[in-house]
């Protein structure tokens, strides 16, 4: 038997299946959130099931998390996004006490204790400027693929100052910088620094306790990870698959609940 | 056949010479040049009366835009920039007006301009510009007594409205009127952020909402946001609105409804976008006379 955690974010639905009884990851699944969220959840879950060669009735407990967790009507229980983050990150890195999660439409951070239990959190979901949506808009303005942003910024030689905070205003500022002859590499570095700065000031309100882990979609961007390290002036832990940390945390909680 | 994408955000650029006015024999000719982040405006005043003006989109250079819009305002009048006795620059690019003798903040200029356009009873000026929104309190002389400004976020600004016009394929000038072509006033869009409001609007369209209802929900959200700003500074009558969004009745009517009273009506002879440049030209006159 097995258990599952399903994390429905703004951009992707993610599923993780764990072997019941002992915390061992059996499989993962991911699907983009299109028009129909339930369809995305089904696709991610099915992918994980087939990878684990399990049928649906072999999953004895499901915990849902994420901004749209209501899209998992078959879940037995749910957990907050920050609770799932703390649990998942702590499983991967037991020394973690602060988890920063920057997704497509949200930046948040959670502090946890030595057992991985969340003790406090902060969240920004009102402004796109600190989230992945900002970088996506800038990639469009710069005509650069999103996945090229990280490597390009690592080749930059400086970070030109940016005035605009708002995504909408930054779009025009980026165009102005290009007209002024600034290189795309440098502009991208400045953009990464800007998102890092906004998130770091949010995390400072929470208080930073080491070790710090960075998860969520933006943790896949090496240039952004570098900006966070420079901004925080410390090393940070980044999992191999940062998108699945929330789903993993939910699955760990499912394992615990199913055991009673 | 390839079809060009229509630019729904594009608002008309234009110039005007006030009929029946002449500069020949005038004592003092002044210019107010308001270089905003989105639009540039020049007002030419002859002996303290509006003579000509022009409004156009700001280009990549503030100095170039200042020159271009001023030359356009002077077009056909027989005047050139050299004939102007004193020029005051204002707005976001005010320090980059090459032919200006002074730069004065747009806060002071909008209050002064509103006092000129609507008279000494004006106490609160709401300027809804391209990339910022200001709530200004002033006295009977048009002197600023208090103000609050949002220039960090596109919600409640003209730029935000341009983005929405483009998203919904509605020419920006039709946004206001069409936002009333609805059966029932919807709840405002819940996201403050323009980026998230766009996502929300697309969701509403997918859910079958007509474009007009989405426009109503967005203009209502914008009104809500601006009323918050106004209430923080305090609104005293008479109340006026300047800047490009003051022409959008969808925002203005919803804003008035929330405030519980109305703004003074627009004066047909003064475009509300030129209030700042009128204020600057009036300051220019006072400064010129002081120097004489």
Predicted pLDDT of residue B2? 59
Q: DSSP class of residue A128?
A: G
Q: Could you tell me if A205 lies within 8 Å of chain B, comparing CB atoms?
A: no
Phi, psi of B102 (to 5 degrees): -145, 155
- Interface check for B26 against chain A (CB to CB < 8 A): the answer is no
Q: Give the tens place of pLDDT for each residue, B99-127.
A: 999 999 999 999 999 999 999 999 999 99
Q: Mutate which of A105, A106, A128, A129 to disrupt the B interface (most B C-beta within 10 Å)?
A: A128
Q: Is the pLDDT reported for residue A22 higher than 80?
A: no
Q: Would you say the CATH fold of B123-259 matches that of B14-113+272-291?
A: yes
Architecture of domain A95-238: 2-Layer Sandwich (3.30)
Q: pLDDT band at B21, cuts 50/70/90? A: confident
Mutual angle of helices B158-168 and A167-179, in 10-degree steps: 90
In chain A, what residues touch B194 (CB-CB under 8 Å)?
128, 166-168
Three-state DSSP state, A212 = strand
Write the DSSP assignment of B129-178 as a string of letters: -SS-EEEEEE-TTS-EEEEEEE-S-STTSHHHHHHHHHHHT--GGGHHHH
Q: Which of B131, B193, B196 sits opposite A169 (nearest CB)?
A: B131
Q: Given an 8 Å threshold on Cβ–Cβ distance, is A168 in contact with B196?
A: no
Residue with tokens 């099931």: A49
| pLDDT score recorded for residue B3 | 61
Cα-Cα-Cα-Cα dihedral sign, residues B43, B250, B153, A181: negative
Q: How far is A177 from chain B (nearest CA, A)?
A: 10
Q: Please, is B26 exposed, middle or buried when counting C-beta atoms within 10 Å of its C-beta (0-12, 13-18, 19+)?
A: middle
**Closest alpha carbon to A161 in A180, A143, A145:** A180
Measure B207 CA to nearest chain A CA, in Å. Answer: 10
Task: Work out the minimum CA distance from B216 to partner chain A, whole angstroms.
Answer: 21
pLDDT at residue B183 greater than cutoff 90: yes
CB contact under 8 A, B195 and A176: no
Judging contacts by C-beta atoms under 8 Å, the chain A residues touching residue B96 are none
Which residue, chain included where needed, has tokens 């060669």?
A: A53
Give the pLDDT score at B61: 86
**CB distance A4 to A239 below 8 Å:** no
Q: How many C-beta atoms lie closer than 10 Å to residue B184's C-beta?
A: 6
- Gyration radius (Cα) of chain B, Å: 19
CA distance readout (Å), B55 to B49, B50, B197: 18, 14, 29
Q: Is B48 left (phi over 0), alpha (psi -120 to 50) or beta?
A: left
Q: For residues B139 and B198, give the distance between their C-alpha atoms in angstroms, rounded to a whole number.
A: 39
Measured in angstroms, the CA of B63 and the nearest CA of chain A are apart by: 14
Q: Return the SS3 of B72.
A: helix
The answer on pLDDT for A118 being more than 90 is yes
- Supply A180's token pair: 């002024």
What is the percent of chain B with per-residue pLDDT over 90, rounded to a whole number? 87
Which tokens in the block code for residue B72?
């356009």
Tokens 């003074």, located at residue? B264
d(CA B67, CA B97) in angstroms, rounded, equals 8
**φ, ψ of residue B148 in degrees (nearest 5):** -135, 145
Q: Which two tokens stand for residue B192?
A: 């403050």
Confidence grade of residue A52 (pLDDT, cut at 50, 70, 90): very high
Interface predicted TM-score (ipTM) of this complex, two decimals: 0.86
Cβ contacts of A14 within 8 Å, gap of 6 or more: A6, A7, A8, A28, A29, A30, A44, A243, A244, A246, A247
Percent of chain A with pLDDT over 90: 91
User: So what's the pLDDT on residue A35?
Assistant: 78
Assigned fold of B14-113+272-291: Nucleotidyltransferase; domain 5 (3.30.420)
Tokens standing for B137? 């309190």
Look-up of token digits 């306790």: A209
* Domain spans in chain B, listed from the N-terminal domain onward: 14-113+272-291, 123-259
Q: A176 vs B60: CB contact, 8 Å cut-off?
A: yes
Q: Quick one: pLDDT band at residue A134, thresholds 50, 70, 90?
A: very high
Is the pLDDT at B142 greater than 80, yes or no?
yes
Contact A128 B131 (CB under 8 A): no
Contact A133 B195 (CB under 8 A): yes
Alpha-carbon gap, residue B12 to B272, rounded angstroms = 14
- CATH 3.30.420.40 residue ranges of chain A are 2-90+244-258, 95-238
Q: Name chain A contacts of B192, Cβ cutoff 8 Å.
A: 126-127
Q: Mutation test of the interface with chain B: which of A130, A132, A168, choosing the one with the most B Cβ atoms within 10 A?
A: A168
Any chain A CB within 8 A of the CB of B228?
Answer: no
Is the confidence at residue B1, as pLDDT, over 60?
Answer: no
Question: What percentage of chain A has pLDDT greater than the value 70?
Answer: 100
Q: Any chain A CB within 8 A of the CB of B193?
A: yes
The pLDDT assigned to A107 comes to 94
Take residue B12 and report the two structure tokens written for it.
Answer: 């008309």
Residue with tokens 């405006």: B41
CA of A156: how far to CAs of A129, A134, A186, in Å? 22, 20, 5
Nearest to A218 by CA among A134, A127, A124, A125: A134
Look at residue B292 in the predicted model and tell me its pLDDT: 83
pLDDT (tens digit per residue) in B42-74: 999 999 999 999 999 998 889 999 999 999 999
* Overall pTM surpassing 0.95 (yes/no): no
Strand order in the sheet with A107-112: A118-124, A107-112, A98-102, A212-215
Mean pLDDT of the A61-65 span: 97
B206 to A133: CB separation less than 8 angstroms, yes or no: no
Q: Which residue has the higher pLDDT, B248 or A176?
A: B248
* Half-sphere CA count of B281, side-chain side, radius 13 A: 31
CA A230 to chain CA centroid, nearest Å = 19
Residue A5: phi and psi, rounded to 5, are -120, 135
Q: Round the average pLDDT of chain A to a whole number and report it.
A: 94
Q: How far is A236 from chain B (nearest CA, A)?
A: 29
CATH 3.30.420.40 fits B123-259, yes or no: yes
How far does CA A3 lie from the centroid of its chain?
A: 22
pLDDT exceeds cutoff 70 at B157? yes
Distance from CA of B92 to the nearest CA of A (A): 13
Domain A2-90+244-258 indexed as CATH 1.10.10.10: no
Residue B4: is its pLDDT beyond 70? no
Chain A, nearest residue to B60 by Cα: A176
Tell me the residues of chain A between 22 and 41 that have a Cβ less than 8 Å away from chain B: 35
Say which residues have a Cβ less than 8 Å from residue B288's Cβ, sequence separation at least 6: B28, B30, B85, B86
Could you read off the pLDDT of A211-234 as tens digits, one per residue?
A: 999 999 999 999 999 999 999 999
Question: Has residue B97 got a pLDDT over 80?
Answer: yes
pLDDT at A127: 93
In DSSP terms, A121 is beta-bridged to A110
A72-98 average pLDDT score: 97
Can you tell me the distance from the alpha carbon of B162 to that of B11, in angstroms, rounded to the nearest whole number? Answer: 9
| Chain B residues touching A172 at Cβ < 8 A | 37, 159
Does B199 touch chain A if contact means CB atoms closer than 8 Å? yes
């Amino acid at each position: 038997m097995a258990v599952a955690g399903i994390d429905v974010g703004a951009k992707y639905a993610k599923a993780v299946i764990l072997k019941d009884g002992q915390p061992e990851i059996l499989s993962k699944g991911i699907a983009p959130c299109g028009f129909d969220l339930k369809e995305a959840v089904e696709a991610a879950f099915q992918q994980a099931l087939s990878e684990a060669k399990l049928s649906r009735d072999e999953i004895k407990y499901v915990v849902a998390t994420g901004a749209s967790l209501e899209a998992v009507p078959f879940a037995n229980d749910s957990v907050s996004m920050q609770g799932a983050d703390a649990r998942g990150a702590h499983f991967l890195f037991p020394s973690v006490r602060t988890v920063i999660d920057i997704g497509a439409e949200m930046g948040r951070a959670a502090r946890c204790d030595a057992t991985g239990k969340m003790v406090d959190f902060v969240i920004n979901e009102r402004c796109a400027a600190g989230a992945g949506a900002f970088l996506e808009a800038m990639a469009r303005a710069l005509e650069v693929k999103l996945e090229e942003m990280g490597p390009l910024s690592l080749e930059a030689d400086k970070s030109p100052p940016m005035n605009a905070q708002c995504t909408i205003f930054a779009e025009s500022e980026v165009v102005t910088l290009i007209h002024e002859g600034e290189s795309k590499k440098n502009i991208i570095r400045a953009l990464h620094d800007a998102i890092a700065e906004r998130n770091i000031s949010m995390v400072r309100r929470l208080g930073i306790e080491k070790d710090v882990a960075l998860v969520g979609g933006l943790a896949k961007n090496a240039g952004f990870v570098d900006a966070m390290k420079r901004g925080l002036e410390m090393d940070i832990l980044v999992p191999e698959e940062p998108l699945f940390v929330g789903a993993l945390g939910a699955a760990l909680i499912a394992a615990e609940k199913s055991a009673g | 056949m390839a079809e060009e994408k229509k630019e729904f955000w594009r608002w008309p650029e234009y110039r005007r010479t006030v009929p029946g006015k002449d500069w020949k024999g005038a004592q003092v000719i002044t210019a107010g040049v308001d270089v905003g982040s989105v639009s540039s405006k020049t007002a030419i005043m002859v002996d303290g009366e509006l003579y000509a003006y022009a409004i156009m989109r700001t280009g990549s250079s503030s100095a170039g835009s200042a020159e271009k819009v001023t030359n356009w305002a002077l077009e056909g009048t027989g005047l050139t920039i050299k004939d102007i006795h004193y020029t005051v620059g204002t707005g976001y690019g005010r320090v980059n007006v090459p032919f200006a003798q002074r730069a004065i903040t747009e806060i002071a200029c909008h209050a002064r301009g509103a006092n000129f356009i609507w008279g000494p009873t004006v106490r609160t000026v709401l300027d809804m510009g391209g990339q910022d929104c200001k709530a200004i309190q002033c006295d009977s002389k048009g002197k600023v007594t208090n103000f609050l400004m949002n220039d960090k976020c596109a919600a409640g600004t003209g730029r935000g409205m341009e983005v929405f016009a483009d998203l919904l394929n509605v020419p920006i000038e039709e946004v206001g009127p069409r936002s009333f072509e609805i059966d029932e006033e919807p709840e405002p869009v819940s996201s403050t952020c323009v980026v998230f409001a766009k996502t929300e609007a697309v969701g509403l369209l997918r859910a079958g909402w007509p474009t007009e209802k989405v426009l109503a929900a967005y203009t209502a959200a914008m009104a809500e946001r601006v009323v918050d700003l106004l209430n923080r500074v305090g609104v005293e009558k008479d109340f006026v609105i300047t800047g490009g969004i003051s022409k959008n009745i969808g925002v203005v009517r919803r804003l008035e409804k929330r405030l519980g009273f109305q703004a003074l009506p627009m004066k047909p002879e003064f475009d509300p976008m030129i209030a700042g440049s009128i204020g600057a030209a009036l300051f220019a006159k006072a400064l010129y006379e002081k120097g004489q």
